Amino acid sequence: MTDPERFTGNFTQQEPIPEEAIEAALAVLRHGRLHRYNTAPGEAGEAALLEEEFAAFTGARYALALASGGVAITTALRAFGVKPGEPVLTNAFTLAPVPGAIAAVGARPVFVEVTEDLVIDLADLAAKAGQAKVLLLSHMRGHIADMEALMAVADAAGLTVIEDCAHTMGGGWGGAPSGRHGAMACYSTQTYKHMNSGEGGLLTSDDDEAMARAILLSGSYMLYERHRARPPAEVFQGLRAEVPNISGRMDNLRAAILRPQLRALPAQVARWNERYGVMEAGLAETPGLRLIPRPGKEAYVGSSFQFQLPGWAPPAIEALVARSAARGVELKWFGAAEPVGFTSRYSHWGYASPPRLPQTDAALAGLVDLRLPLTFSLEDVAQIARIIRAEVGALWQAGVGPVSPG
């Protein structure tokens, strides 16, 4: 009997930093001006240039470079006046740093149900909209809700929408870049995101006062006029004494690494989506496995892949994860009883005291997730899909799934 094929790649290995970015980083190291406000006469600085270029890339009026995606979210919440003890709505399918950012400003996460297609449920959002003044909308794993319909619900309820675009940088909805529907958008440049500076974040907005507050919060002191993608200087005048300095700036070294990656991002998105397409084709019509549909108006970035095993019992999914791992394929399961690594769900975050959300529980019970790094070739992805399909099929044929095929 022939041994089953085994994948030997690494699910957490990213591509090397581009040579152009390495040269830009070396230039910063050679002159030593790493702090964003430590610039030579006539020099803009890498952080200021990154902000200008990212604003142009997204179509936003203003952008701010920060130390992490989490700092971007907490800065956005503070910029819109979220106070300790206040409720903030957020979708229940997200990662721990999103409710963590709400908790970091002393506020209280209120979770909104998600649909089986992994986006926020607009009916539940409408029902809960009166409980808060801010919705922190997480485009979790790159799945974007119907943004026109969502904004209609938010506008009717007077909700300010802050978008968490950590998984949708380079994506969009209805022809608009991700982050352009809400009042402010937050992005991450952590290693596993679409641009890699180890840690880092970006914030965009068209709102003069909110962005002025964000720049002051980031630790600009009275040097805000050195920002090139900022509101007019007079907007800062009445805010300077009332907004605290909560240092969260990005440095010039990380900005230098990111600027070449930003120029390459559209090509990188196309490469991710090639891999996503191969995985989708490889798993199509697998008995017992449901693919997540992608709406025509959604421009997604396929840097990760999700599928569902509807009705499968936990031991069966545990068996699939173990059997796939034995063949070199690293799957994450959002329905596990305990958090594992980066993978957790709303019921694990006890500090938020969340009530049970039956619709979200049903969506996540059989949800399986895997990364698609660009270090994988198309042939690698096809092999991974064959292994998953074979293991799902073996369990299904054995009658381990929700119903026996016989």
- The encoded tokens of residue 401 equal 């799934």
Identify the pLDDT of residue 403. 53
Which whole-number Å values give the CA distances from 224 to 58, 61, 64, 211, in the listed order?
A: 21, 16, 11, 11
Identify the pLDDT of residue 402. 64
Q: How far apart are CA 141 and CA 121, in angstroms?
A: 16
Closest CA to 65 of 170, 168, 194, 201: 201
Identify the pLDDT of residue 406. 41
Identify the pLDDT of residue 1. 53
Identify the pLDDT of residue 352. 86
Give the contacts of 141 (CB within 8 A, at least 6 positions apart): 93, 118, 167, 304, 306, 369
Residue 260's H or E segment, with its range, is: helix 252-283
Domain locations along the chain: 19-260, 265-397
Q: How far apart are CA 139 and CA 154, in angstroms?
A: 16
Identify the pLDDT of residue 341. 78
Burial 33-55 (b: 16+ CB within 10 A, else e): bbebbebeeeeebbbbbbbbbbb
How many other β-carbons are positioned within 10 Å of the β-carbon of residue 313? 14
Low pLDDT (below 50) residues in the chain: 404-406
| Triad 273, 192, 256: Cα angle to 5° | 100
Q: How far apart are CA 308 and CA 326, in angstroms?
A: 20
CATH architecture of 19-260: 3-Layer(aba) Sandwich (3.40)
For CA atoms 105, 106, 110, 116, the dihedral sign is: positive
Q: What is the CA radius of gyration of the chain?
A: 22
Identify the pLDDT of residue 405. 45
Identify the pLDDT of residue 404. 45
Q: Which fold has domain 265-397?
A: Aspartate Aminotransferase, domain 1 (3.90.1150)
For CA atoms 331, 334, 338, 341, the dihedral sign is: positive
Closest CA to 220 of 39, 37, 73: 37
pTM of the model: 0.95
